Amino acid sequence: MYQDAQGGIYITNSGFGIGSGSLTTEQIILEDTLIDEFTSINIVINGILAPEKYVIVQMDEDHNLIARSEFDQGTTPDLYAIKPETAYIIVETHRRTPNTEQSIIREIFSLDGDMDETERYFNTFSVREDGIAIRHTTHYERLR
């Protein structure tokens, strides 16, 4: 990442696991923003392995499978409906390591009744052609 003499901020993709390995550049434009009290802006950029697909598994309190859904990267819904008997969900991220081995990351999300609706979500990612990963938030709620 660098800033040019005119103040433009650029991100250079080194191909570290998120793209095809080609060198690309992305400009971040801050429009209509007045910054008069700050002298620096911190931007955090993380590299990820590109996901191939996401699998959402619904389980009951006895750990039995209730439902299973698969989504290609970039196709997870904004709202995911959970069946009434589901106690928790598992979100699996399927991806390939740089040496093409399959990798699966599993995250468990509770359906605890004490959780606020705004806390019931998970994030997925899709990777654009230029190698930049885009986060997508999916909220989940129980069917009545």
Does residue 37 form part of some domain? no
Does residue 38 form part of some domain? no
pLDDT band at 11 (very low <50, low <70, confident <90, very high): low
Question: How distant, in Å, are the alpha carbons of 4, 15, 72, 86, 122 from that of 82?
Answer: 48, 37, 19, 7, 13
Q: Which residue has the higher pLDDT, 99 or 93?
A: 93
Does residue 130 form part of some domain? yes
pLDDT band at 21 (very low <50, low <70, confident <90, very high): very low
**Six-digit token string for 79:** 């709202």
Count the domains in the chain: 1
d(CA 19, CA 33): 30
pLDDT of residue 97: 82
pLDDT tens-place string over residues 63-77? 999 999 999 999 999
